[in-house]
Structure 1
Amino acid sequence: MSDWRKWLFYVAALYDGIIGLVFLFFWPRFYDHFQIAPPNHPGYVQFPALLLIIFGFMFLRIARDPAANRGLIDYGIALKLAYSGTVFWYQFTTGVPRVWVWFAWIDLAFLVLFLVVRFTVRQLHDRAAEA
């Protein structure tokens, strides 16, 4: 298996893990810095932050062996599609703070790369099954 696939998921693990930690512990500073109105309860930020940390651990697992953990890649694809799709929808319909759009573009790039990995891993698996 090509190393770039493993490194992609190591980078995704770091990216989501760090963002999750920032939003878990420092979300008020983040919101203040980007002049975003905070939600009325910290749980609205901290729960998704914990989900990002959990996904970060999942990406670490995928990175260790993308072929063996190919089924988990689908959840990463769903995460990136859900976030980028939601943000882009609101960007085009009602508006959304620019910082969320930056994250959405990054997640869209991850989404495309995850799809490439998922397709190529499936091909490798199918070839191995035929042999």
Structure 2
Amino acid sequence: MKSKPVITPLFIVAALYDGILGVVFILAGSSVFAWYNVTPPNHFGYVQFPGALLIVFALMFLAVARKPEANRNLIPYGIMLKISYCGVVFYHWFRTGIPNMWKPFAIFDLVFLVLFIWAYSALSKPSAVESSKVE
């Protein structure tokens, strides 16, 4: 597939991005909140659990990177992750305000969202006409 050379690095970058964020929020969440001068939640489990979920998604993105065609069915879960985060952050950002620490992540996730939708489309099953072509 022609798009695989682009799709594999995309999902490697996504895995690194979400995996590193997950580890940072699990191991050093209090430092992140302090650096941005944001009051943390009353219990760091509220930060560590989403961090752990980011690591799970990072592993999923690595599976997609390794075998994009075979693991195309996982991409919608990544799309839903990005829609969920962007939806929450952009809603609060434009409606009621949100600490600046969350805004860059939303912008990056919006870019990933668009790219994941593109990747999912690029990996769609070929039509009957394309299937009959000899490569």
Amino acid at match of 2:107: W
Q: 2:92 aligns with which of 90, 93, 102?
A: 90
Stretches (4+) displaced over 2 A: 126-131
Percent of matched pairs sharing the same residue:
50
TM-score if structure 2 supplies the norm length? 0.91
In 2, distance between residues paired with 1:102 and 1:29?
17
Residue 96 of structure 1: SS of its match in structure 2?
coil
Equivalent position of 2:31 in the other structure: 29
Superposition deviation, residue 120 in structure 1: 1.1
Equivalent position of 2:14 in the other structure: 12
Q: CA RMSD in A?
A: 1.3
Superposition deviation, residue 130 in structure 1: 4.4
Equivalent position of 1:120 in the other structure: 122
Amino acid at match of 1:72: L
Q: Which runs of 5+ in 1 are unaligned?
A: none
Aligned residue pairs total 129
TM-score if structure 1 supplies the norm length? 0.94
Q: Which runs of 5+ in 2 are unaligned?
A: none
From the two aligned structures, give the one with the greater helix fraction: 1
In 1, distance between residues paired with 2:80 and 2:68?
16
Residue 78 of structure 1: SS of its match in structure 2?
helix
Amino acid at match of 1:115: I
Equivalent position of 1:43 in the other structure: 45
In 2, distance between residues paired with 1:90 and 1:5?
31
